[in-house]
Amino acid sequence: MTRPSVYVTVIRTLFGILFVGGSVVHLYGGVTSPLSYGPFGDTAWPPLDELWTGFVMPNIAWLALCMAAFELAVGVTAWLPARWNRISVIGMTCFFAFLIVLGYAFPTATALEDFLVNRAGSLVMIALVVPWLMRPQPLSVPGAWLALVRRARRRVRLSATSTTEPRSSSEPPSSGSTP
């Protein structure tokens, strides 16, 4: 069994929470203000821009619910062990890749500004999850945190015992200590 990575455990924790939160946002937005999804068509690359206005917006109520279900599933499975969190990180990577094409719906004047405002954030998100994508995570998030805490306690105990052991007479005194 591989030891859990601190970085990947933090990323799994945060992204799991963010995706569950995103599902709540899509659920609420799809029900209360479905037209707020319209501006995404303005930043989408062709032919997605036409698909957005021709298919997505007329069906946004149920598509927003599907998006909420997807984000909930990805967020929850991020915390589960083994293949489940592997499926989750693949789903997250695909979601962020889709957002590169779709954009974040912020109006811009130039292509560079569009890239920086509407697309670069998704590239950063993909870069953040790549270590998780590349390294298997057999434990659930609570299990990984427990293993990390145990490992840290072991290190603290080992360092505490090494500083309290008496020095041999051949070791020079440390600075600031009396012989």
Looking at residue 7, its pLDDT comes to 96
Contact predicate 118/106, CB 8 Å: yes
Looking at residue 136, its pLDDT comes to 76
Looking at residue 158, its pLDDT comes to 83
Looking at residue 170, its pLDDT comes to 59
pTM of the model: 0.84
Residues of the chain falling short of pLDDT 70: 1-2, 162-179
Calculate the alpha carbon distances from 101 to 43, 49, 58, 64, 135 in Å: 8, 9, 20, 18, 27
Looking at residue 163, its pLDDT comes to 64
Looking at residue 135, its pLDDT comes to 87
Looking at residue 175, its pLDDT comes to 55
**Dihedral angle sign, alpha carbons of residues 130, 134, 138, 144:** negative
Looking at residue 12, its pLDDT comes to 97
